[in-house]
Amino acid sequence: MKRLMIAAVLAAAPVAAQTAPDPHRLALAAGYKAAFLCSGRWNAGQDEASISRDDLTGIYREYQAAVTALPAVIDEAARTVSVAFEPAMPPRIAVWRPLLGCVQLPPGATAVAEVPRLVPGLAAPDLAVTDAKPWPLGDQGAVQPLRRRRDRAALDAAVAKAFDSDRTTAVIVLKDGKIIAERYRADWTMHTPQRTWSVAKSLTATLVGRAVQKGLVDVAQPAPVPEWQAPGDPRAAITWSHLLRMKSGLWTAGPGNRTDEVYVGGSQVAQTAAAMPLEYAPGTHFNYSNNDIMLAALALSRTVAKDGGSHAALAFPFTELLWPLGMTRTTPETDWRGDFVLSSQVWTTARDMARLALLYQNGGKGGGQQLLPPDWPAFVERADGPQPVGRAEGYGAGFWRWSGQAGLPDGTYAMNGNRGQFAVIVPARNIIVIRRGFDLVGAAFDMPRFTAAVLAALPDK
């Protein structure tokens, strides 16, 4: 029966998808569908129709037809999603866990009992309690509208332009730490999370900064990736800074380094990212690479686990950064061996992104403590060594440098993610601009221009 069902749905797919019935590509497409249905359902509380409209439409062209056609089974009781893709193989399976979100099993796996879970006794915060705290630890007193009606009208008009397309889900503008404008798509709320995509890279850089502040990491030293420690391995010279600045010199499968095997293929971070050979001497070449950031996260987990064990490594993002900032609706996901996939697999709300940006606007202070070294914001914004070729933006350490983009002030920097995820920090004006969305291929949201329009609508003082 399963063979007939899969054959039927593939026969209904476009001809382009039928001409090359590659089982591995089908496994990736099935993993894509399982991952997004799982995370959208139980991280974000979305129904299948909403997830299909937003997260599963406008995706990579080579997966779109199969993702649409392959059948999914959502098990509400077990909190699993199974997607059949090949008659002779078990379905691809994604499993949801509290706090850690969804994890994909590798192709061929059916057991779900051994996926990693958090430290016993480490429970999620009581959201009713945390929401009642003053902003930014909670939601109380977060909004402080501009005093002058004329200024409010100008800002509201600028924000409204972002919603000319229904692909925008959220916009927040903050000045001096308070929200002065906030708007959501009709089916969205301030507590609706969605995938950050590469904004997760900025979160990884922040977690490394937290470890630096705690004396666990020196970014000038080699990153302790276990797979590189054999005598004579030249990769052992790659530093934390090299990884955060995307100049490790490691080979990747092209600029942008599509890491589908980890993201949707059920592979492990250590199995894939840590296996890449050197292509350039460390520090001499920029290459935007998911692997570099995944390796920084892997090195951080191994550093924390050295003293506290694997459970301490899983707990670190929550206890050391997310919860102290009030980011109680942020879910970083792992591979099936328990390593965070922190180059992309994170779900968060627009307000939680604002909280992370505020940490930088406030010089690394959050929740009444110095969470980052005071010079960490300058470290992540600073250009150091090779820069992207053919792009107007520069790159710091997990953040993009936007000085001069669309006339933006010097020192402007941003967290950027696929499909239109942005948090822009403008130190010169003490302003932060957040935008979330589900951009379609060829219809990218112009965030520099939008940020410039927001700044133009605001009084200088």
Same domain, 80 and 150: no
The predicted-structure confidence for 1-56, as pLDDT tens digits, reads as follows 444 444 444 444 443 444 556 899 999 999 999 999 999 999 999 999 999 999 99
Domain-embedded: residue 212? no
Same domain, 137 and 100: no
The predicted-structure confidence for 275-306, as pLDDT tens digits, reads as follows 999 999 999 999 999 999 999 999 999 999 99
Q: How large is the average pLDDT for residues 336-340?
A: 95
Per-residue DSSP letter, 116: -
Q: How large is the average pLDDT for residues 206-231?
A: 97
Q: Which residue range is the domain that position 69 belongs to?
A: 2-104
DSSP 3-state of 179: strand
Same domain, 346 and 443: yes
What is the Cα–Cα distance from 424 to 426, expressed in whole angstroms? 6
To the nearest whole number, what is the mean pLDDT of the chain? 93
Tell me: pLDDT of 180 over 70. yes
The predicted-structure confidence for 368-425, as pLDDT tens digits, reads as follows 999 999 999 999 999 999 999 988 899 999 999 999 999 999 999 999 999 999 999 9
Q: What are phi and psi of 160, to 5 degrees?
A: -60, -30
Tell me: pLDDT of 83 over 90. yes
Question: How far is CA 319 from its chain centroid?
Answer: 19
| Predicted structure pTM score | 0.95
The confidence score (pLDDT) of residue 8 equals 44
Domain-embedded: residue 154? yes
Same domain, 350 and 450: yes
Same domain, 150 and 72: no
Q: CATH number, domain at 446?
A: 3.40.710.10
* H-state helical runs in 318-375: 323-325, 350-361
Total tally of structural domains belonging to the chain:
2
Q: How confident is the model at residue 114 (pLDDT cuts 50, 70, 90)?
A: confident
- Last residue of one domain, picked from the residues 104, 119, 138: 104
Lowest model confidence (mean pLDDT) among 87-101, 253-267, 432-446:
253-267
Same domain, 374 and 407: yes
Same domain, 451 and 352: yes
Domain-embedded: residue 313? no
Domain-embedded: residue 301? no
Tell me: pLDDT of 129 over 60. yes
